[in-house]
Amino acid sequence: MTAPRPAADIARDVRSGSRRAVDVVDGYLAAIADREAEVHAFNLVLAEGARERADDIDRRVAAGEDPGALAGVPVAVKDNLCTRGVPTTCSSRILEGWCPPYDATVVERLAAAGAVVVGKTNMDEFAMGSSTETSATGPTRNPWDLDRVPGGSSGGSAAAVAAGFAPLALGSDTGGSIRQPAALCGVVGLKPTYGTVSRYGLVAFASSLDQVGPFATTVADAAVLFDVIGGHDPADSTSLHRPTPRVTSVLDQGIDGMTVGVVREFLDGADADVSARIAAAAQALAAAGARVEEISVPSMRLALSAYYLIAPAEASSNLARYDGVRYGLRVDAPDTVAMNTATRSAGFGAEVKRRIMLGTYALSAGYFDAYYGQALRVRTRILEGFAEAYRRCDVLLGPTTPTTAFRLGAKVDDPLAMYLSDVCTIPTNLAGHPAVSVPFGTGDDGLPVGAQLLGPALEEGTLLRAAAVLEAAAPDDGRAPVPAARVGSGAGGAR
Partner 1 sequence: MSTDWDVIIGLEVHCELKTATKLFCGCRNAFGDEPNTNVCPVCAGLPGSLPVLNRRAVELAMAIGTALHCDIRPSTFHRKNYFYPDQPKDYQISQYDEPLNADGWLELPDGTRVGIERAHMEEDTGKTTHAGTSGRIHGADYSLVDYNRAGVPLVEIVSRPDMRSAAQARAYAAELRAVLVATGASDGKMEEGSMRVDANVSVRRTADDPLGTRCEIKNLNSLRSLVRAVEYEVERQIALIEAGGTVDQQTRHWDEGTGRTETLRSKEEANDYRYFLEPDLVPLVPDPEWIAAVAETLGPLPAERRSRLAGVLSEGGDGPTEAQLDQILTVVDLGLDQLVVEAAAAGVGAPLALARTANQAATDPEAARRLDPESYVALLALEQDGSLTATQVKEVLAELLAAGGGDPAAIARAKGYEALSEDSLADTVAGVVADHAAEWERYRGGEDKLAQFFIGQVMKATRGQANGKAVVAELQRLRG
Catalytic (active-site) positions: 78, 153, 177
Distance CA 248, CA 483 (A): 27
Which residue in the set 244, 253, 364, 489 belongs to the binding site for partner 1 (CB under 8 A)?
364
Rank residues 103 and 394 by Cβ distance to partner 1 and give the closer one: 103
Binding of residue 288 to partner 1 (CB under 8 A): no
Rank residues 231 and 448 by Cβ distance to partner 1 and give the closer one: 231
Q: 374-413: which residues touch partner 1 (CB under 8 A)?
A: none
Binding of residue 313 to partner 1 (CB under 8 A): yes
List residues bridging with 202 in a β-sheet: 81
- Torsion angles phi and psi, residue 435, rounded to 5: -155, 155
Distance CA 486, CA 147 (A): 12
Rank residues 81 and 438 by Cβ distance to partner 1 and give the closer one: 81
Binding of residue 200 to partner 1 (CB under 8 A): yes
Q: Are 84 and 100 in contact (CB under 8 A)?
A: yes
- Minimal distance in Å, beta carbon 45 to partner 1? 22
Q: 96-135: which residues touch partner 1 (CB under 8 A)?
A: 98, 100-102, 104
DSSP state of 243: P
- Minimal distance in Å, beta carbon 196 to partner 1? 15
Q: Are 44 and 97 in contact (CB under 8 A)?
A: no
- Minimal distance in Å, beta carbon 357 to partner 1? 13
List residues bridging with 50 in a β-sheet: none
Binding of residue 171 to partner 1 (CB under 8 A): no
Going by their DSSP bridges, the two strands 74-78 and 168-172 should be labelled as: parallel
Stretch 235-274: interaction string toward partner 1, x if CB under 8 A: xxxx------------------------------------
Rounded alpha-carbon distances, angstroms, from residue 341 to 135, 181, 324, 337, 338: 21, 33, 9, 6, 5
> Which uninterrupted H or E stretch holds 294?
strand 291-295
Distance CA 136, CA 350 (A): 10
Which residues have CB under 8 Å from 272's CB, separation 6+?
Answer: none
Count CA atoms closer than 13 A to 134's CA, side-chain side: 29
The span of 28-36, 228-236, 257-265, 420-428 binding partner 1 (CB under 8 A) equals 228-236
Binding of residue 314 to partner 1 (CB under 8 A): yes
- Torsion angles phi and psi, residue 167, rounded to 5: -75, -20
> How many C-beta atoms surround the C-beta of residue 365 within 10 A?
5
| Cα separation of the two ends of the chain | 33
Count CA atoms closer than 13 A to 52's CA, side-chain side: 4
Binding of residue 190 to partner 1 (CB under 8 A): no
Binding of residue 349 to partner 1 (CB under 8 A): no
Which residue in the set 36, 145, 323, 460 belongs to the binding site for partner 1 (CB under 8 A)?
323
Q: Is 55 helix (H, G, I), strand (E, B) or coil?
A: helix
- Minimal distance in Å, beta carbon 231 to partner 1? 16
- Minimal distance in Å, beta carbon 380 to partner 1? 13
The span of 20-28, 161-169, 229-237, 407-415 binding partner 1 (CB under 8 A) equals 229-237
- Minimal distance in Å, beta carbon 229 to partner 1? 15
- Minimal distance in Å, beta carbon 338 to partner 1? 12
Q: What is the CA radius of gyration of the chain?
A: 21
Residue ranges binding partner 1 (CB under 8 A)? 80-82, 88, 90, 95, 98, 100-102, 104, 199-204, 206-208, 234-238, 313-314, 316-317, 320-321, 323, 325-327, 335-337, 340, 360, 363-365, 368, 372
